[in-house]
Amino acid sequence: MTKDHGGDVRLSGISKTYGSFTAVHPLDLTVPEGSFFALLGASGCGKTTTLRMIAGLEEPSSGTVSLGEQDVTRLPPHKRPVNTVFQSYALFPHLDIFENVAFGLRRRGIRSVKKQVDEMLELVQLGEQARKKPHQLSGGQQQRVALARALINRPKVLLLDEPLGALDLKLRRQMQWELGRIQTEVGITFVHVTHDQEEAMTMADTVAVMNAGRVEQLGSPLDLYENPRTTFVANFLGTSNLIEAEVDSKSGGDIVLKAGDGKLVLPEARCSAPATAGGRVLVGVRPEKISLTHADDAGDVPVGRNRITGKITATSFTGVSTQYAVDSSVCPEFVVYVQNIDRDPRLVPGADAVLHWSPAHTFGLDAAQDIDAGVETVEEEAAV
């Protein structure tokens, strides 16, 4: 893409307070030109406020917003080369689909809009619906109109505020793919706000996880998932098993930890907390990285793997995998996902089992945090 299509979005020390409530703590964020960037967090974490400050619909209490070389902090929304797809689409009910899509062009004084609007409606497969009113379309179609209405202006940045939130699951998956395709096609920078961690991970190149008005961690979906640096990120993105452990010693780039009676090994490079002998850290491991062996075969577990013993309390078969809940002395509910390749029929609730995994799949977090951060919020969102 050529330079006139882009420029990075740079937020410097941007914050927003309402009276005594701080919606967004001063944050610095750079969204590279042409990237698909996601702001992920539970409702009320400040992600939408951040988006609205980029759009100009909210004035920051401090800090600046820049698009490329231009400081746009004081520019009103209609003077910013930025367009938004709103959560409830916000289509104009008194205008038909054609006029909704043409709105931005007409406001900028462009006379012959027919060709462009027709092309844009083709892109989102709504050519037939041009003369209908928004309320005559389905939710998915309205969503595509909202997208077309924003994209037709060729903004430097497209902001998407939970654009898929109102769609049912199947349509949402389809639109996720569709949005990804359109982004690659037009090459415009997308900033996508969502509370759906799966959506953020599948669509975005870079994800910023927000919590309580702060960016907790920023990185590629893979990096965030494999190397979470806070308990919130570990719990909010997927599921993590967290064990509180004491630092015993260090040897050759590894940290040896004591958890209950057993010993666990953690590569020093994967520990985001300072680890001094006698200090405490949280040891984390993802459920799918763990292997489950019946206690009778404990001798078969290879040496050098982290291991924990426990009793299976529940199992649930999900087709692709089987999920086990294991009660152990170091963690009351260890979650394990096992692929259904060779199912051991002895692994039923009540059976004693050994959980083991490679030390390389272990990560370490600062023990001073709330071990359950990010857990409830996920459930709350699911209930909405």
Partner 1 sequence: MALLRWTKRHLVVLAGLLTLGYLLLPNVVVTVFSFNAPKGRFNYEWQTFSTDAWTDPCGVAGLCRSLSLSLQLAAWATLGATVLGTMIAFALVRYRFRARGAVNSLIFLPMAMPEVVMAASLLTLFLNLGAQLGFWTILIAHIMFCLSFVVVAVKARVMSMDPRLEEAARDLYAGPVQTFVRVTLPLAAPGIAAGALLAFALSFDDFIITNFTAGSTVTFPMFVWGSAQRGTPVQINVIGTAMFVVAVLFVLAGMIVGNRRKRQKP
CB 281 within 8 A of CB 230: no
Q: Which stretch binds partner 1 (CB under 8 A): 61-69, 127-135, 174-182, 195-203?
A: 127-135
Q: Least Å distance between CB 154 and partner 1?
A: 12
With contacts defined by CB under 8 A, name the span among 15-23, 50-58, 169-177, 315-323 that binds partner 1: 50-58
92 binds partner 1 (CB under 8 A): yes
Which amino acid, 110?
A: I
Residue number, 150 or 351, with CB nearest to partner 1: 150
Measured from the CB atom, the residue of 52 and 229 that comes closer to partner 1 is 52
Angstrom distance (rounded) from CA 191 to CA 161 = 8
Pairwise CA distance, residues 94 & 76, whole Å: 25
| Number of Cα atoms under 13 Å in the Cβ half of residue 351 | 20
Binding mask 147-176 for partner 1 (x = CB under 8 A): --xx--x-----------------------
> What's the 3-state SS for 2-38?
CHHHCCCEEEEEEEEEECCEEEEEEEEEEECCCCEEE
Q: Pick the piece of the chain touching partner 1 (CB under 8 A) from 14-22, 78-86, 325-333, 375-383.
A: 78-86
Q: Which of 5, 22, 86, 118 binds partner 1 (CB under 8 A)?
A: 86
We find the least distance from the C-beta atom of residue 137 to partner 1, in angstroms, to be 11
Nearer to partner 1, 106 or 311 (CB): 106
Q: Can residue 108 be called a binding residue for partner 1 (CB under 8 A)?
A: yes
Using CB atoms within 10 Å of the CB of residue 361, give its burial: 0 to 12 exposed, 13 to 18 middle, 19+ buried: middle
State both tokens at 84: 């938004």
Instruction: Give the residues across from 218 on adjacent strands.
Output: 208
Bridge partner list, 356: 291, 307
Least distance to partner 1, CB of residue 132, Å? 6
Q: How far apart are CA 37 and CA 220, in angstroms?
A: 10
Q: Which stretch binds partner 1 (CB under 8 A): 36-44, 60-68, 100-108, 245-253?
A: 100-108
Q: What is the spatial distance between Cα 302 and Cα 107, in angstroms, rounded to a whole number? A: 69
How many residues does the structure list for the chain? 384
Phi, psi (deg, nearest 5) at residue 43: -65, 140
Considering the rule CB under 8 A, would residue 132 count as an interface residue with partner 1?
yes
Contact status, residue 211 vs residue 237, Cβ threshold 8 Å: no
In angstroms, the CA 273 to CA 364 distance is 7
Q: How many residues touch partner 1 (CB under 8 A)?
A: 29
Contact status: 77 vs partner 1 (CB under 8 A):
yes
R_g of the chain, CA atoms, integer Å? 25
Indicate whether 50 belongs to the interface with partner 1 (CB under 8 A). Answer: no
Answer yes or no whether residue 107 interacts with partner 1 by CB under 8 A. yes
Does 78 contact partner 1 by CB under 8 A? yes
259 is a contact residue toward partner 1 (CB under 8 A): no
Q: Which of 3, 20, 69, 93 binds partner 1 (CB under 8 A)?
A: 93
The least distance separating partner 1 from the CB of residue 146, rounded to whole angstroms, comes to 9
Q: Are 14 and 31 in contact (CB under 8 A)?
A: no
- Considering beta carbons, is residue 94 or 115 the nearer one to partner 1? 94
Taking CB under 8 A as the binding criterion, the range among 87-95, 221-229, 306-314, 324-332 that sits at the site for partner 1 is 87-95
Q: Which stretch binds partner 1 (CB under 8 A): 59-67, 130-138, 187-195, 261-269?
A: 130-138
Q: How far is the CB of 2 from partner 1 (least distance, A)?
A: 22
Query: d(Cα 248, Cα 276) in Å, to the nearest integer?
Result: 8
Among 9, 45, 55, 373, binds partner 1 (CB under 8 A): 55
Best CA proximity match to 227, nearest among 272, 288, 287 = 272
Which residues of the shown chain bind partner 1 in the complex (CB under 8 A)? 55-57, 76-79, 82-84, 86-88, 90-94, 103-104, 107-108, 131-133, 136, 149-150, 153
